[in-house]
Amino acid sequence: MGIQLSDHFNYKRLLRFTFPSMVMMVFTSLYSVVDGFFVSNFVGKTPFAAVNFIMPVLVILGSIGFMFGSGGSALVSKTMGEGDMDKARRLFSLFVYSTIACGVVISIISFMIIRPLAAFMGAEGDMLNNCVTYARIILPSLPFFMLQFEFQSFFITAEKPQLGLLVTVVCGLTNMVLDALFMAVFSWGLVGAAAATAISQVLGGAIPMIYFCKSSSGVLRLTETELDKKALIKACANGSSELMSNISTSIVSMLYNFQLMKYAGENGIAAYGVLMYVNMIFLAIFIGYSTGVAPIVSYHYGAENHAELKGLLKKSYVIIGIFAAAMFGLAEVLAKPLAEIFVGYDEGLMEMTTRAFMIYSFSFLFSGISIYGSSFFTALNDGLTSALISFLRSLLFQSAAVMILPMILGIDGIWFSVVAAELVAAVMTVFFLAARKFSPGP
């Protein structure tokens, strides 16, 4: 018999249930890195820069699905914990249909304004044309991209995390194979890269839709529903931290690039790009665990099982602490080999990247606490606190640190700024968690 949300979770059961989510997030990050590798090596430096330039915009748009998924799954899981399965299915269907509608509208509008938007952001010449080409091939698949994000959360709520992992693996392998075929074999260039990504996104949204349309799909399935404005607002509020985190990360990346150009030139930006690829993979462990455990928290919160909630929080502290120590040690050991893989062709750049990564890796000791804390409050249907943690961690603290520390420490101050911001965010998150009382919310 599979693990159910209503179960009592010891360490072994908790890790078994969240493991597919962790692997899913890591795999998603890995195939994004492979995507960048093929564009860089088979298409060229300018198209590679264009992809990285416009990608934050596409991720922000797609993260609306993440907002509906994380915020909606918290509400659906809580309703399941209260024992009302019919209502849970209607809410689930409402969130999925709303995501499709939003995706279609946003895709059409974005398709029309992407050129002036990219130009406003600073792209020009060949880079501007490459940004528009890539985005306009990707944007028609945006509704499926949103659904892919959303269903990652709902597969867990439906007690089928293994199926979510399977869909992610299928989409990831599809993207990798098509990247190699379209760019390395057919030489389709940037068009091939965009087509490979778009096809994988369509699969990522369509396969779960087919599964949940089946009447025998299990705990959750798509049914007739009705407009519930209060539930939609609640889901958006719950999931606003995920949307805020993506928007903030994009803004902060622009600020980092500005500071790096000032203190280290193009080499600094290249080194930061490598850090972001590796950071994406390492943080995927924390994000995957937090996503995996969130429906459990929501369920027991709805069932008013406060003892189980406190037990989950305590166990999660321990698990995240072990992950953090392991990732820090691994990052220190792999700093030079990873730098060599990405920028081994330039000795000076490789040395800068290695030093940057060895400093940056200290942030892994603290980042998991605030990532989990934000997800935990989302699961408790406390979107305000969750969004506050995300805003302070990903925007305010990092922006302040990257502006101040370089004036004291030079280029090293930019790498240390992430460590300082994550440390302050972790302390703040622990304070919020300690102050939280697990009484039923409004």
Q: What is the pLDDT of residues 161-178, one digit of tens each?
A: 788 888 888 988 898 899
Residues with Cβ within 8 Å of 192's Cβ and at least 6 positions away in sequence, in order, are 178, 179, 181, 182, 183, 186
What are the Cα distances from residue 70, in Å, to 65, 77, 227, 241, 328? 9, 10, 19, 9, 28
Residue 19, in any domain of the structure: no
The last residue of one of the domains, among 238, 272, 304, is: 238
Residue 18, in any domain of the structure: no
Q: What is the 3-state secondary structure (H, E, C) of the chain?
A: CCCCCCCCCCHHHHHHHHHHHHHHHHHHHHHHHHHHHHHHHHCCHHHHHHHHHHHHHHHHHHHHHHHHHHHHHHHHHHHHHCCCHHHHHHHHHHHHHHHHHHHHHHHHHHHHHHHHHHHHCCCCHHHHHHHHHHHHHHHHHHHHHHHHHHHHHHHHHCCCHHHHHHHHHHHHHHHHHHHHHHHHHCCCHHHHHHHHHHHHHHHHHHHHHHHHHCCCCCCCCCCCCCCCHHHHHHHHHHCHHHHHHHHHHHHHHHHHHHHHHHHCHHHHHHHHHHHHHHHHHHHHHHHHHHHHHHHHHHHHHHCCCHHHHHHHHHHHHHHHHHHHHHHHHHHHHHHHHHHHHHHCCCHHHHHHHHHHHHHHHHHHHHHHHHHHHHHHHHHCCCHHHHHHHHHHHHHHHHHHHHHHHHHHHCHHHHHHHHHHHHHHHHHHHHHHHHHCCCCCCC
Bigger pLDDT: 341 or 201?
A: 201
Given this model, what pLDDT does residue 176 score? 87
Q: Which residue is associated with the tokens 């990346």?
A: 253
| Residues 273, 339 within the same domain | yes
| Residues 227, 253 within the same domain | no
| Residues 194, 283 within the same domain | no
Does the pLDDT at position 18 exceed 80?
yes
Given this model, what pLDDT does residue 353 score? 85
Residue 5, in any domain of the structure: no
Of the pLDDT bands very low, low, confident and very high (cuts 50, 70, 90), residue 442 is very low
Bigger pLDDT: 438 or 173?
A: 173
Bigger pLDDT: 288 or 59?
A: 288
Of the pLDDT bands very low, low, confident and very high (cuts 50, 70, 90), residue 237 is confident
Residue 45, in any domain of the structure: yes
Q: Taking residues 274-289, what's their average pLDDT? A: 84
| Residues 381, 403 within the same domain | yes
Bigger pLDDT: 129 or 236?
A: 129
Least confidently predicted of 12-16, 28-32, 422-426: 28-32
Residue 384, in any domain of the structure: yes
| Residues 393, 249 within the same domain | yes
Given this model, what pLDDT does residue 364 score? 93
Residue 23, in any domain of the structure: no
Q: Taking residues 230-239, what's their average pLDDT? A: 82
**Residue in 320, 250, 334 with CA at minimum distance from that of residue 283:** 320
| Residues 231, 247 within the same domain | no
Does the pLDDT at position 427 exceed 50?
yes
Per-residue burial over 333-353, b if 16 or more Cβ lie within 10 Å, else e, is eebbebbeebbeeeeebbebb
The last residue of one of the domains, among 186, 204, 238, is: 238
Does the pLDDT at position 441 exceed 70?
no
The last residue of one of the domains, among 182, 212, 238, is: 238
Q: Taking residues 245-252, what's their average pLDDT? A: 73
Given this model, what pLDDT does residue 440 score? 40
| CB distance 203 to 162 below 8 Å | no
Does the pLDDT at position 240 exceed 90?
no
Identity of the highest mean pLDDT range in 68-72, 101-105, 278-282: 101-105
| Residues 40, 69 within the same domain | yes
| Residues 210, 337 within the same domain | no
CA atoms within 13 A on the CB side of 221: 11
The Cα angle at residue 95 between residues 1 and 162, in degrees rounded to 5:
30
Q: Give the type of residue at 225.
A: T
Of the pLDDT bands very low, low, confident and very high (cuts 50, 70, 90), residue 369 is very high
Of the pLDDT bands very low, low, confident and very high (cuts 50, 70, 90), residue 54 is confident
| Residues 226, 365 within the same domain | no
Bigger pLDDT: 435 or 196?
A: 196
Given this model, what pLDDT does residue 217 score? 56
Of the pLDDT bands very low, low, confident and very high (cuts 50, 70, 90), residue 70 is confident
| Residues 257, 195 within the same domain | no
Residue 185, in any domain of the structure: yes
Calculate what percentage of the chain has a pLDDT beyond 70.
92
Residue 182, in any domain of the structure: yes
Q: pLDDT of 345-365, one tens digit each?
A: 678 778 888 898 899 999 999
Q: pLDDT of 304-350, one tens digit each?
A: 888 888 888 899 999 999 999 999 999 889 888 878 877 776 787 78
| Residues 179, 291 within the same domain | no
Identity of the highest mean pLDDT range in 72-86, 266-280, 354-368: 354-368
Does the pLDDT at position 141 exceed 90?
yes
Q: Taking residues 378-390, what's their average pLDDT? A: 82
Calculate what percentage of the chain has a pLDDT beyond 90.
24
| Residues 203, 343 within the same domain | no
Give the chain's mean pLDDT.
Answer: 84
Per-residue burial over 393-414, b if 16 or more Cβ lie within 10 Å, else e, is bbbbbbbebbeebbeeeebebb
Does the pLDDT at position 295 exceed 70?
yes
Full residue range of the structural domain in which residue 402 is found: 240-442
Residues with Cβ within 8 Å of 13's Cβ and at least 6 positions away in sequence, in order, are 3, 7
Domain count, the chain: 2
